[in-house]
């Protein structure tokens, strides 16, 4: 395998997502990337501060960056698949340049386009996403060695002084739930959850 993740355990997306959600006590925003990534965020239990993407593959980190810039006092998490990140890798340089301390990016890496039939990504056997993030200038990037290490990295990110990226090697299982595909309601509820809107 690639150089920086030789000792990492293969985890499960739904389990890791549930562990993240369990650590969130301060109305942190969470952006779920397309497909299985936001299905498992949905399945982990809806929160008013969750945003679920129904398209625009690769934009979980840019959307989260926008939320982080708009609300610098709120911690913002983004969950993205490795295939999605490959679509928009330039955003890592943008985020490194802006250094939003309240942004934590989590990459669920199984080397697969799981949802389209588990075809390997071009990066699968050759590229190291954490090394790429470090190369882009996000120095606070690491692979989670196991579930406990993941939880430790999440807690550390809550007081980080720059953006954090956590790589998680995951298995090839599909998502557990399925997000209700109602974009207007998803957006409106998210804005209510962030205190930007009030109920009519």
Partner 1 sequence: MAAAAEQSSQQASAARAWHEVVLQTLKRNDIRLVPYVPDRVLTTLIKNIHADPFFTTFPTAREEEAVGIVSGAWMGGMRGAVLMQTSGFATLANVLASLAIPYQIPLIMFVSERGTLGEFNYGQSLVCRTMRPLLDSLAMEHHTATRLDEFEFIVDRSIKQAIATQAPVALILSPLLTGGKVFDK
Minimum CB distance to partner 1, residue 104 (Å): 14
Q: How far is the CB of 188 from partner 1 (least distance, A)?
A: 8
- State which residue, 53 or 168, has the beta carbon closest to partner 1: 53
CA distance 35 to 25: 26
Long-range contacts (CB closer than 8 Å, 24 or more residues apart) made by 90-94: 91/58, 91/61, 91/62, 91/65, 92/61, 92/132, 92/133, 92/136, 92/137, 92/138, 92/165, 93/136, 93/137, 94/62, 94/65
Q: What are phi and psi of 72, to 5 degrees?
A: -65, -15
- CB closer to partner 1 out of 94 and 127: 94
Q: Which is nearer to partner 1, 11 or 123 (CB)?
A: 123
Closest CB 1 distance from partner 1, rounded Å? 27
The minimum distance between CB 85 and partner 1, in angstroms, equals 12
CB of 145 to partner 1, least distance (A): 30
Q: In what order do the strands lie in the sheet with 164-169?
A: 50-52, 29-32, 76-81, 103-109, 164-169, 141-143
> Rounded to the nearest whole angstrom, what is the least distance from the CB of residue 66 to partner 1 in the complex?
3
Nearer of residues 91 and 142 to partner 1, judged by Cβ: 91
- State how far the Cα of 138 lies from the Cα of 136, in Å rounded to an integer: 6
Which CB sits closer to partner 1, 64 or 154? 64
**Which residues in this chain contact partner 1 in the complex, by CB under 8 A?**
29, 31, 51, 53-59, 61-71, 74, 88, 90-91, 93-94, 97-98, 183-184, 186-187, 190-191, 194-196
> Half-sphere exposure of residue 167, counting CA atoms within 13 Å on the CB side?
29
Instruction: Pick between residue 150 and residue 190 the one whose CB is nearest to partner 1.
Output: 190
76 CB neighbour count, 10 Å cutoff: 27
How far is it, in rounded angstroms, from Cα 25 to Cα 153? 16
């Amino acid at each position: 395998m690639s150089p920086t993740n030789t000792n990492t355990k293969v985890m499960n997306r739904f389990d890791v997502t549930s562990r993240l959600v369990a650590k969130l006590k301060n109305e942190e925003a969470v952006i779920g990337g397309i497909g299985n990534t936001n299905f498992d965020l949905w399945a982990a239990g809806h929160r008013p501060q969750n945003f679920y993407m129904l398209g625009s593959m690769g934009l979980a980190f840019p959307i989260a960056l926008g939320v982080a810039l708009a609300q610098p006092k709120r911690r913002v998490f983004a969950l993205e698949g490795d295939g999605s990140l490959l679509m928009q890798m330039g955003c890592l340089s943008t985020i490194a340049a802006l250094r939003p301390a309240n942004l934590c990016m989590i990459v669920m890496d199984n080397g697969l386009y799981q949802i389209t039939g588990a075809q390997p990504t071009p990066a699968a056997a050759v590229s190291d996403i954490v090394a790429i993030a470090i190369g882009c200038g996000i120095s606070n990037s690491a692979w989670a060695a196991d579930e406990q290490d993941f939880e430790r990295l999440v807690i550390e990110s809550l007081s980080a002084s720059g953006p954090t990226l956590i790589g998680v090697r995951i298995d090839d299982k599909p998502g557990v739930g399925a997000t209700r595909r109602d974009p207007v309601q998803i957006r409106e509820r998210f804005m209510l959850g962030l205190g930007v809107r009030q109920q009519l």
